[in-house]
Chain A
Amino acid sequence: MLEHRLKGLKSFLEKPAPTWGPDISKLDVNNIVFFIQNKGPKNSRSWEEVPADIKRTFQRLGIPEAEQRVLAGAGAQYESEMAYHNLKTEWEAKGVIFLDMDEALKQHEALVKEYFMRCVPYNDHKFASLHAAVWSGGTFLYVPKGIKVTQPLQAYFRMNARRAGQFEHTLIIVEEEAEVHYIEGCSAPQYNENSLHAGCVEVFVKKNARARYSSVENWSKNTYNLNTKRAIADENAIIEWVGGNLGSGVTMLYPCSILRGKNSRAEHISIAFAAKGQNQDTGAKVYHIAPGTSSHITSKSIAIEGGITSYRGFVKINKGAKKAKSAVECDALMIDNASQSNTYPYIDVKEADSDVGHEATVGRISDDDVFYLQSRGIKEDEAKKLIVRGFMEPVIKQLPIEYAVELNKLIELEMEGSLG
């Protein structure tokens, strides 16, 4: 592992920063604290053992409560280490492994070694290299063959210190015919100094398996969220990405699906919200390598009070990926005139026997719609809120109810006073 970290560091120093996308020149990596240890025991299986202040933070976020009611297991990371990690015994008995990444490395070394950074190599790009060098914490999830985990599993990541960096590594392996839904929530309070989140998510979906990865990221407004998420899908496998990006100053996040198995499918659903001082540069990447693969990307974004939202997508149909299909839809809503919305789709087709389509629209809240609602006795700002909610509906309804409510609330909070 040390060797791997050193390779990552060397690669980080060698690689140039990206020349495209949002401005990240204000990010000074030397100012970031790479590892912050928590007091108290790691990986408690009971909330009783978790230190009171950390427990309070997560209680406010509603994690213990939700775990009891709907989740199959939950993990909670505070700064650089996992404070809590638990899996319901019924799933544990079936062979599901849900552990903190550091712990997994100790207990299941061979398994981790086989998959760790095989999907996102250490020299993939500058921040993947940094991640490889300094990663800590995160979740390891292994679902054995044929097991369908019916309740979602959840991890929550919290950065609390100033100038903190969080570099959690999430590794999900879904064996043949298995199914899982993993949810991730992220947040951080506001400080003056910039912090950095450069996590990495790797998902391996085997033959006939299905994985759904949902995340709601709500970092503080001065966080650089430079995250890498990637999945490899084998034959007939389905990978679904559901994402909400609300917080952080600069986000550069492009979940990627590599469809290498025949008839595998990728579904990307995302929503981005940029208010004052925020630059949400999000998108999706799909590589169609095998025949019969299909992908569907839905991206929604809202820009308000000078926020910048960009959709940056990449769809590649490799030679030989016959009958591959891809559909991309991007809709952007601009609430006011100070905001900015960009769309940069890149479609690269090397196989003639394929079908690729892209559609995008950019606009504002339609006066006609507002007028109609007003004529029905709904106040103007209420009407606008309703329209925004309707715009997000296709994404929100894919999320578990707790997250849907949270996301709706967060967006309403952000838009308070700026409508009407």
Chain B
Amino acid sequence: MKQLVKYGLTTSLRAFELPEIWDGEQTVVISAEGISVGADTKNSQAISVPAGFKGTITIRRNITGNRDNTMQILVKQDSEARIIEEITGSGTYKANVLVTAEPGCSVKYFLLQAMEEDSVCLLNYEGTGEKGSFIWNSCFLGGDTTRAVLETRAGDEYDSQNYAVVLGSGNQQFDIHVSTKHAGKHSRSNMLTKSVLDDKSRAVYHGLINISQDAAKIDSYQKDEVILLSDGSSADAIPNLEIHNNDVSCTHGASIGKLDEEKLFYLKSRGIAEADAKRIITEGFVEPLVLPAWQHLIREKISRS
């Protein structure tokens, strides 16, 4: 499984070329009120969200062995869909997911990767829509090697947000690509990635804002923040901008550093032990970006390391 590392980190392949491997299983449980779920074969799902739908769709995926999966989600007009996907289990999981939103939809996609620490996880997620909003909110905790692409293609009048949290420990490696491609006018986008790395873990952040020549009146921001907790941890930040239109306001920032010593000092002066103070600051750093239902997982992982 370790040799799969070469497919991740710093290469810029769009699709993951893995050998055909079908020796694993996955159990997928999809639950939602009043919507039809397409034929759930072993390795592909199609979900159609009816027009005007307001509610939550939960997808729980448990992996054993090596799986290759595709999923398509079509969100029809004027719906407000919350999609929650949790990936657990152990093995090699490779997925291509496409979420297409019709005009007038608000889509919030929460993604949790909490696989066992010997796993390899390669994710390629794309969301596309116009006249509405799209939020990616992902949380990467598990796996040995994780490579994730989370992309939004924004049409006219779109509000696109992309938040990601990475918690690394041991020898974990994360390669996170977040991008927003603006093809339409009058859109906004905001991308924020926060990583906390301990032990010998490593995270690479690739951010991209691409504004095509026809996309005027765009307001776009991206930021990558990394806290390195240990001596052996390391991080790369590559926040890119490709701007082909001048009627835009586009900024980005990145910061990599250790835990804020002033905050630590303040908490210690209040009688909190150093280890606890570190935990509190770290939790406070990432928690705003994590779905409440998953916050206990974050706390567990932080207190373990």
Contact = CB atoms under 8 A, between A and B. Distances in A.
Interface stretch (A84-92, A191-199, A288-296, A337-345): A337-345
Given A334-B243, A359-B253, A362-B241, A352 B233 contact: yes
Q: A-B pairs with the 7 shortest C-beta distances?
A: A334-B246, A352-B228, A343-B241, A364-B246, A358-B254, A347-B237, A362-B250
A162 B229 CA distance: 58
A356 interface: yes
Contacts of B252: 343, 358-360
Interface in A325-361: 332, 334-361
Contacts of B254: 345, 347, 356-358
B237 A358 contact: yes
Interface in B237-259: 237-258
A364 B251 contact: no
B192 interface: no
Contacts of B250: 361-363
A348 to B, nearest CB: 5
A66 to B, nearest CB: 37
Interface of A: 319, 332, 334-364
B236 interface: yes
Contact of A347 (B238, B245, B246): B238
A342 B228 contact: no
Contacts, number: 105
B235 A349 contact: yes
Looking at B243, B249, B253, the one whose CB has the most chain A CB atoms below 10 A away is: B243
Contacts of A359: 251-253
Interface string B212-242: 0100100000000010111101111111111
B246 A356 contact: no
A359 B226 CA distance: 15
A120 B20 CA distance: 45
A355 B255 CA distance: 7
A364 B231 CA distance: 42
A337 B245 contact: yes
21 contacts: A334-B245, A337-B216, A337-B246, A338-B213, A340-B244, A341-B241, A343-B239, A345-B238, A345-B240, A347-B238, A347-B256, A348-B236, A349-B234, A349-B235, A354-B257, A355-B256, A357-B254, A361-B250, A362-B241, A362-B250, A362-B251
A42 to B, nearest CB: 47
Given A347-B254, A352-B231, A356-B255, A362 B236 contact: no
A349 B258 CA distance: 11
A395 to B, nearest CB: 20
A355 B228 CA distance: 10
Given A349-B236, A358-B239, A364 B256 contact: no
Given A347-B256, A349-B226, A362-B251, A335 B241 contact: no
B247 A364 contact: yes
Contacts of B233: 352
Given A354-B256, A355-B257, A342 B240 contact: yes
Given A349-B234, A349-B235, A363-B248, A358 B240 contact: no
Contacts of A352: 228-231, 233, 258
A345 B257 CA distance: 17
A351 B258 CA distance: 9
B243 A362 contact: yes
A337 B251 contact: no
A360 B248 CA distance: 14
A419 B93 CA distance: 54
B243 A340 contact: yes
Contact of A357 (B231, B244, B246, B253): B253
Given A352-B228, A356-B257, A360-B241, A347 B236 contact: yes
A344 B248 contact: no
Contacts of A339: 246
Interface string B33-51: 0000000000000000000
Contacts of B230: 352
Contacts of A355: 255-257
Contact of B242 (A342, A350, A351): A342
B221 to A, nearest CB: 10
Contact of B243 (A332, A351, A356): A332
Given A345-B238, A355-B257, A358-B255, A336 B246 contact: yes
Nearest to B254: A358
B213 A337 contact: yes
Contacts of A354: 256-258
A353 B241 contact: no
A283 to B, nearest CB: 12
Contacts of A336: 246
Given A354-B257, A358-B255, A344 B238 contact: yes
A337 B185 CA distance: 14
Contacts of A349: 226, 228, 234-237, 256
The residue among A341, A342, A354, A357 with the most chain B CB atoms within 10 A of its own CB is: A341
A140 to B, nearest CB: 38
Which interface residue of B216, B230, B244, B246 has the most chain A CB atoms within 10 A?
Answer: B246
Contacts of B253: 357-360
Contacts of B236: 346-349
B97 to A, nearest CB: 27
Contact of B246 (A335, A350, A360): A335
A352 B257 CA distance: 6
Contacts of B257: 354-356
